[in-house]
Structure 1
Amino acid sequence: MNIGDVIFQLFTFICLFGVFFGVFFLVRSLVTKQPSKLENIEQKLDRIIDLLEKDKKN
């Protein structure tokens, strides 16, 4: 085995790990953004419920 084969294999493994880490961080970022969207929806629903309760009292 010569040095060119070793360099090629190292480069290939680095690229392979890069793809796995890229997918991992992409999924992680998508998952962490979901709770903030849910919190916004929850706040809007709470506001709607408050307004409906005020209408029932009047």
Structure 2
Amino acid sequence: MNIGDVLFQLIMFLLLIGLFSVAFVILCSGLKRNSTNKTIELEKKLDRIIELLEKEKS
């Protein structure tokens, strides 16, 4: 094999790994952002329930 062929295959392999890495990072960040929004909504609902329970006790 020629050194140029080896170099080309190495570059393509690294490019392929980079492509999958970028896709993985984008997916993970999207899931994390969605999870954060759900957590905030859940906290608001729990705060509302606590307020209602405190009013009920008074």
TM bin, normalised by shorter chain, reads 0.7 to 0.9
Aligned Cα RMSD in Å? 1.8
Structure 1, unmatched stretches of 5+, are: none
| Cα separation, 2, equivalents of 1:40 and 1:32 | 12
TM-superposed deviation, 1:25: 1.1
* TM superposition score normalised by structure 1: 0.73
40-49 or 12-21: bigger deviation: 40-49
| Cα separation, 2, equivalents of 1:35 and 1:2 | 50
Number of residues of Structure 1 aligned to a counterpart in Structure 2: 56
Q: How does 1:19-58 map to 2 (within 5 A)?
A: 19-50=19-50, 54=55, 57=56
TM-superposed deviation, 1:47: 3.5
* TM superposition score normalised by structure 2: 0.73
Identity between Structure 1 and Structure 2 (%): 35
| Cα separation, 1, equivalents of 2:35 and 2:4 | 48
TM-superposed deviation, 1:32: 1.7
26-35 or 16-25: bigger deviation: 26-35
Kindly provide the CA deviation profile for residues 10-47 of structure 1, in whole angstroms up to 9, marking residues without a partner as x.
00000001000110111111112222111111122233
